[in-house]
Amino acid sequence: MLIRDELKAAIEAVLFARGEKVSLEELSQIVGFTPRDIKTIMEEIQGDYNQKKHGIQVIEDNNTYVMCTKPEYHKVLWGRVKIYHQRLTAPALETLAIIAYQQPVSRGEIESIRGVRCDKTIHTLLEKRLIQEAENKTKPFGAACYSTTEEFLRVFGLASLNDLPELEEG
């Protein structure tokens, strides 16, 4: 069915050009099919990329889709690609890790885990757009909470938050 192949190609073009997560709703608006149809098509596209030898994959995260390289080709790319030259310091990484796993999380909670004040590191992370202020769902009028951003996933090469390893217990 040619129309189906063309639809796939169109979605591929959108995902390539955007280079960021595109939601199911948006894709359905762009190509003019129902989100349900798109979802089936997306599964097929993902299958295509996984079956054949491709350096690129399409990943799904909470009904959004993005194109990125496969982790298998990490070695080919690393060192040849300019990525993120500003390295974060260890305290900044500790703060970022707590936010990544606990989000949304308040400054007080972060400080209680780290045992030190974190205002400066939080400020740095906000400035670098790795974290953002998030809605505090548990306490509607509570302290400001933080969550990680898309930029965080991009910088650390994670397809989604699910790519973070399980926290070691014991």
**Which one, 21 or 42, has the nearer CB to another protein?**
21
**Which one, 48 or 72, has the nearer CB to another protein?**
72
**Which one, 33 or 101, has the nearer CB to another protein?**
101
- Partnered with residue 78 across adjacent β-strands are 81
**Which one, 47 or 84, has the nearer CB to another protein?**
84
- Can you spell out the DSSP letters for 62-107? TTEEEEEE-GGGHHHHBTTB----SPPPHHHHHHHHHHHHH-SEEH
Element (DSSP H or E) covering residue 146: strand 145-148
In Å, what is the CA distance from 35 to each residue of 13, 45, 88, 150? 18, 15, 39, 23
* Shortest Cβ 109–another protein spacing (Å): 11
* Shortest Cβ 78–another protein spacing (Å): 4
| Positions in the binding site for another protein (CB under 8 A) | 16-20, 22, 26, 57, 59, 66-72, 74-75, 77-79, 81, 83-84, 87-88, 90-91, 93-94, 96-98, 100-101, 112-117, 154-159, 164-165, 167-169
